[in-house]
Amino acid sequence: MEEASFLRIVPYSPTHADRSKRTRKRASLSRNPHSPDSVVKIRNACTTCREYESSRDAQRTPEEPPQEDQYGHFHGSASGFAFLQLVKARLASLPSMSLNFPDYPLVNSTNSPATLPPKSIADTLIHNYFDFGLTTSRFVHKNSLLASHENLYSNNPDSLPSQDDRALVYMVMAIGSHYAQANTVFSGFSASVQYFTMAQKELERGSSKITLSSLQARLLITHYLLNHSRMHDAWSSFGIVVRHAQALRLHRETTASLTNFIEHEYRKKLFWSIYIYDRILSSIFGRPAALHDDDIDQEECRFTGDDDVTISEEHLKGKGAFCSGAALIYYARLAKILGMVLREFYGPLRKRHDLQSLRGMAVKMQQLLQDWLLSLPAFLDFISLPPSAMSTLTQRQLCTLKLIYSHTRLLLYRPFILYCIQQNGDAQDTPDLAQWFTHCSDKSIEAAYSIVDECQSLQNRGLFSRRFWLVNYTQFAAIGTLYMYSSIRLHEPGIRAVADEALTQFPVGVEGDLVGQRYLDILRELQKVTLQCSATTDNTFDGSTVDGSGLDLPDLDDMLLGNGDPFGSALVATTH
């Protein structure tokens, strides 16, 4: 059986080139740089720049190289793990935590038959997938999949599905097994491994030709690996998905005449599902997105469900009418905003702006999120629609949208909170900035409350489980955020109370999930050390006044270096 190996952080020694890598472009002062006047101007300009940069450097965090593990894997600050590591190290000198996130081996399925289950069981697994599986990212055409499924069980060798179609059927059955009522030799998490293995073998035996079915199967493999505590494997697998999607030109608008409406529409659905995964994985790992918006001109999906699209025609839903495919459209729009937040506040672009301009940018993105929320149709309005009025499919769609919306808000406000933590008594901001920081804190707590409330609702309905990895990750990030604030806003004991209550429910959601168990270990220790910090540390911010102009946010990636333990990056390094 494959053994899990653990992370070891290796100190990074910057070279002289690393320390001096930052340069600034300055405009030419004269067409003739050698004239006497130009020399004087250049000398004066250089003196001014040095004085400016000296003052500017005094207001910024010393630049250090980004955090790396012993394998050279980069771990950025958008990651919830990296964020909480920084908080732990910055609020107080807290004990080192042993936090390792290896890829855990899949359950040994050598004793399971590598054969198809009885037809009745296969039918149930496939219906489980469409009823409970990837309900928001609906990129597999149900009727086409059912046709391949029927052909697979027919005795007619002439109608046997292609290898890629078989791989897709097996992966749908594997995901559907996660929602089985009982664990048997043909259903359940353990049994799903055999279908996963069968799908992989079909893809390996196939030709080098990439098809829509093979790409759909590979994206399901990524989802499957995330559900089975193999996040590093999923990251690598998703890289192949992106390259295959680009090879099929899914990122570009179709210009050919329409001959197959199913293929035309589900190319778009598949692409936007990949786009969503790209933005979410980028935020979890703190790494750059693989798909770039300036390379994309693919149009949005249409308001259609599986039954509305056939090879020869397509029927669009009327405005306001329920559409099972609408959630994917709004999910993709939300993912675009998430990508903007990651790009502007966690990437190199942030260094081009001072605190005031970043604040203005955050206000614009805040408005984009509000506009997105107001644009939701009534059947996707997770603010006002009660669960009792929803079908199971709609409940799951609203849960996904609500969690990612709230998590995007956490990421939007996080850099400004880190600025406050980084000051730690060294600066008191002007009233408008102080008000903005309070606003960011309030909105972050509100977003975290929204996530834990949703998970509480799932718990009450018996739906909080390992079956969807994203629920556990967002809950983890939300609880960690609340514990951070419990150490800063000591006059609000209710924050810790909410975090403590959410933590008591967390073991139910991560039962059988080995990565989820690591989340639990982290949160329990964070609960303990922030309580100690709250009892011994005065986390008030006072000092000299600044107005934010010319002042940088701390370099978040740089701030994560050298904190003594792998809290921020342990999730994303492993060997095999």
- DSSP of 206-254: S-S---HHHHHHHHHHHHHHHHTT-HHHHHHHHHHHHHHHHHTTTTS--
Tell which residue, 81, 77, 8, has the closest CA to residue 473.
Answer: 81
Closest of 417, 487, 520 to residue 97, by C-alpha: 520
Instruction: Specify whether the CB–CB gap between 514 and 104 falls below 8 A.
Output: yes
Give 466-479 pLDDT, tens digit per residue.
Answer: 678 899 899 999 99
Backbone angles phi, psi at 131, to 5 degrees: -90, -35
Among positive and negative, which fits the CA dihedral 480, 484, 487, 491? negative
Residue 385 covered by a domain = no
225 with 237: CB under 8 angstroms?
yes
For 226-274, write each residue's pLDDT tens digit. Answer: 988 898 899 999 999 999 999 999 999 988 888 999 999 999 999 999 9
Residue 259 counted as domain residue: yes
Question: How many structural domains comprise the chain?
Answer: 1
pLDDT at 97: 46
Q: Is residue 279 assigned to a domain?
A: yes
Question: For 214-226, how does the pLDDT look when each residue is reduced to its tens digit (9 = 90+)?
Answer: 999 999 999 999 9
Q: Are 86 and 215 in contact (CB under 8 A)?
A: no
The residue range of the domain holding 295 is 115-324
pLDDT band at 419 (very low <50, low <70, confident <90, very high): confident
**Residue 400: φ, ψ to 5°:** -65, -45
Please say if the pLDDT value at position 211 is more than 90: yes
Does 521 reside within a domain? no
CA dist 89 and 567 (Å) reads 10
Q: What is the mean pLDDT of the chain?
A: 79
Most confident by average pLDDT, 79-83, 123-127, 251-255, 344-348: 123-127
Q: Do 169 and 145 contact (CB within 8 A), yes or no?
A: yes
Has residue 319 been placed in a domain? yes
Residue 183 inside a domain? The answer is: yes
CB atoms within 10 A of CB 58: 7
pLDDT above 90 coverage of the chain, percent: 47
* pLDDT band (50, 70, 90) for residue 125: very high
> 429 forms bridges with which residues in the sheet?
546
- For residue 272, is it within any domain? yes
pTM of the model: 0.81
Q: Does 255 fall in a domain?
A: yes
Whether 448 shows a pLDDT value over 50: the answer reads yes
Average pLDDT over residues 375-386: 92
